[in-house]
Structure 1
Amino acid sequence: MTMTRHPVLFRAACPDCRGRFELAAAALRLAIGRTARTTFYSFTCPECGSAVRKPAGERIVQLLTGGGVRTLRLHVG
């Protein structure tokens, strides 16, 4: 028996146009900084084109990294 792997989709919302949609991992970026203030995920709203940046707590980081979202680690000198 072979298992078909379905792409992971993440629910998101745009604070500008208030649109709600699902995004594939490739549409999201995750930045992990030293503090909660510098850890966030971002995407471009598919409905209005706005650049969206939202804070990412520990659980969000786990979900996004587990779902294959590209991650950037921010380091300070």
Structure 2
Amino acid sequence: MAPTVLFKAACPDCHGRFELAAGALRLAIGGTSKTTFYSFTCPDCGALVRKPAGERIVELLTGGGVSTMRLHFSSSSGE
């Protein structure tokens, strides 16, 4: 059995710092860097946190087993 991967995270609302397992994070990959982000619920205050995810963050999260959702946009959206 593979060891559990933990990701360090922080909440911008309560300023809490903690470690989260892959199952506590969600990654959304959009058509641009502006629409690619990861999110989680702060275990300290319950706030929904959404942060941008660049290429390196995407690699780390997907490699660590975080579930990924691909966002699709219609061609009429200007993307």
Query: In 2, Cα distance between the equivalents of 1:33 and 1:5?
Result: 29
- Structure 2 residue runs without a partner (length 5+): 75-79
Deviation at 1:61, TM superposition (A): 0.1
> What is the CA distance between 1:6 and its match in structure 2?
1.2
Q: State the alpha-carbon separation in 1 of the partners of residues 20 and 29 from structure 2.
A: 20
**Once the 2 structures are TM-superposed, how far is the Cα of residue 5 of structure 1 from its aligned partner?**
2.2
Could you tell me which residue of structure 2 aligns to residue 34 of structure 1?
31
The question of 1:13 aligning with 2:10 is answered yes
Q: Percent identity?
A: 76
Q: Residue 25 of structure 1 aligns to which amino acid in structure 2?
A: A
1:35-57, Cα deviation, whole Å (9 max, x unpaired): 11000000000000000000000
Give the gaps of 5 or more residues in structure 1. none
Relative to the length of structure 2, the TM-score reads 0.91
